[in-house]
Amino acid sequence: MKCYYSTHPEDYQGYDTQKLRDNYLIESLFCYGEVRQFYCYDDRLIVAGVCPQGTSLSLVAGKALGGLTFFSRREAAAVNLGADGVIRVGDEVFSLAYREALYVGKGEHDVSFESVEPSNPAKFYVCSAPSHHPYPVRHIGRSDVKKIHLGDPDTANERIIHQYIHPDVCPSSQLALGLTDLINASNWNTMPCHTHSRRMEAYFYFFEQDDTRVFHFMGKPNETRHLVIANEQVVISPSWSIHSGVGTRRYSFIWAMAGENQEFGDMDFIKTEDMR
């Protein structure tokens, strides 16, 4: 499990492009027949790509979790971005179609991932955070999510936010997760941008055309940098950093947060004229 360590905002000012990518970008998440896991020291978030083919796959606890099983003190949410898949939690079996999700609370249960057709595999994007309270397993279909329409065509940031793991949809200990679609001709995922010092965030970008790129802006508002993102890559966004992006074509992304609270409106907006 590769680890991504926390960085001080003053340290990152001296990073060149490659060091920015090494410290904040997960470039290769999915591999057929494998589990790929990444441990973020910012709020102890784990990001994983699970792509089962002929055999079932399970998340690996490893040394980073102190010898415990994966869900002993953790919760997780998995979103299927491939063909039909199955997640087994103990004796329960959950079928997940495209863009459906499953929440699994902490507990001593075995969890495994499968594809319905190995030749057309499921692709599970998984985010996990520490948990101190067991919440029940919950399947979240596309009709179960809470949808919020934000933005405006004049500012090129019109979008639909689909809240999957949120107090109004699915109770969790601290994890929050949703999926955002840019609509019409919009290409900014948020602008004006913001920070939320009580929560870190991970951004998973995905889109249809291979030559599409997203320019993800990060850093302190007065000391910004950017990363150029390809399909199915993840940006780790520390709580002190802005997180805003613009794409060469329409794209979608999954945001996941962990930290001190789950208040969707708990953010500090940055005036565009104050950015540097």
User: 253: pLDDT confidence band, cut at 50, 70 and 90?
Assistant: very high
- CA–CA gap between residue 242 and residue 203 (Å, rounded): 12
pLDDT of 168 over the 80 cut: yes
Tens-digit pLDDT profile for residues 47-90: 999 999 989 999 998 788 888 899 999 999 999 999 999 999 99
Annotated binding site for Zn(2+): 194, 196, 201, 243
Q: Could you tell me how many helices (H) and strands (E) the chain has, helices first?
A: 1, 22
In sequence order, the 6+-apart residues with CB closer than 8 A to the CB of 7 are 23, 238
This prediction's pTM: 0.95
Mean residue pLDDT of the chain comes to 94
Q: Determine the pLDDT at residue 265.
A: 75
Whole-number percent of the chain with pLDDT over 90: 85
pLDDT of residue 198: 78
Spatial separation of the C-alpha atoms in residues 240 and 9, rounded to whole Å: 7
> Quick one: pLDDT band at residue 147, thresholds 50, 70, 90?
very high
Polymer length of the chain: 276
Distance CA 134, CA 147 (A): 26
Q: What is the pLDDT of residues 6-52, one digit of tens each?
A: 999 999 999 999 999 999 999 999 999 999 999 999 999 999 999 99
Is residue 261 over pLDDT 80?
no
pLDDT of residue 121 exceeding 90: yes
When pLDDT is cut at 50, 70 and 90, the band that residue 260 belongs to is: confident
Distance between CA 149 and CA 243 in Å, rounded?
Answer: 19
Looking at CATH, the fold of the domain delimited by 2-274 is given as: Jelly Rolls (2.60.120)
Question: What residue numbers does the annotated binding site cover?
Answer: 194, 196, 201, 243
Considering only residues 225 and 198, tell me which one the structure prediction assigns the higher pLDDT.
Answer: 225
At 275 the pLDDT is 85
